[in-house]
Amino acid sequence: MRDDRRLRRRRETVQEILDTALDVMAVEGVAALSMAEVARRVGVRPPSLYQYFPSKTAVYDALFERGMRETVEVLEPYRAGLSEDPRGAILAGQQATVAWAMANPVLAQLLYWRPVPGFEPSPRAFEPAVRQLEILRTALQAAVQAGQLSPAAAAEEGIALYTALVSGVISQQLANEPSAQVEQGRFSRLTRTAVDMFFHFYAPEEGESHGSDLRRGRAPAAD
């Protein structure tokens, strides 16, 4: 029981440190995280923080993992809709992801930008990002099987294009109107348009054409 209480207190302290680090980063900037300021707000001496995190990089790493796990949790509920309407499920999941990013701008910056020079997430922290990519690939493959997308959409280039479109919406919104409502944001309200553009570009076609050749990364035949 004593060990359980000790572990519980440790977990609670770890979460308090991370929450406080987010508050500091929100004010000072993501790259300007001060361990001394975190310690002051938590109410401990700076050396005491290193009992929980050996370095500032470890704090960034834990926050990156937290953010990625939260985005995966946001997407998971929409997987159930892939069997009926993959396109609708993809759009709903993407709108939820954009809403999460706007509600968590500091974590979103850490996930979608590179605000901290030299920081690279550890394999453990990056594991949820791999899971997120697997969810996207599964969703796009479901849309292919439903006849909503061409097979190229679920290939590596198609996945790269999709993530570029969506991360672009998030990045532009955070950079220009971070406090806007998701439904009214100049860029966040374009989430549906971005997804529609992707589905239009990778629309399935019968036979080959210049357009389908380009979608598959081939140059069109000379006329």
Segment 77-93, tens digit of pLDDT: 999 999 999 999 999 99
Query: How many Å from the N-terminal Cα to the C-terminal Cα in the chain?
Result: 79
DSSP 50-85: TTT-SSHHHHHHHHHHHHHHHHHHHHGGGGGGGGT-
Q: What local confidence, expressed as pLDDT, does residue 4 receive?
A: 82
Three-class SS state of 218: coil
CB 28 within 8 A of CB 18: no
Q: What local confidence, expressed as pLDDT, does residue 1 receive?
A: 61
Tell the residue number behind the tokens 């992707």, with chain if given: 198
Q: What local confidence, expressed as pLDDT, does residue 5 receive?
A: 82
Alpha helix (H) ranges present in the chain? 2-28, 35-42, 46-49, 56-75, 86-103, 105-112, 123-145, 156-176, 191-201, 210-215
Eight-class DSSP state of 30? G
Domain spans in the chain, listed from the N-terminal domain onward: 1-54, 61-215
Identify the segments of the chain with pLDDT beneath 50: 208-223
Q: What local confidence, expressed as pLDDT, does residue 219 receive?
A: 40
Please check whether the domain covering 1-54 is classified as CATH 1.10.10.60: yes
Q: What local confidence, expressed as pLDDT, does residue 215 receive?
A: 44
Query: What topology does CATH give the domain 61-215?
Result: Tetracycline Repressor; domain 2 (1.10.357)
Q: Residue 29: which region, alpha, beta or left (left: phi > 0; alpha: psi -120 to 50)?
A: left
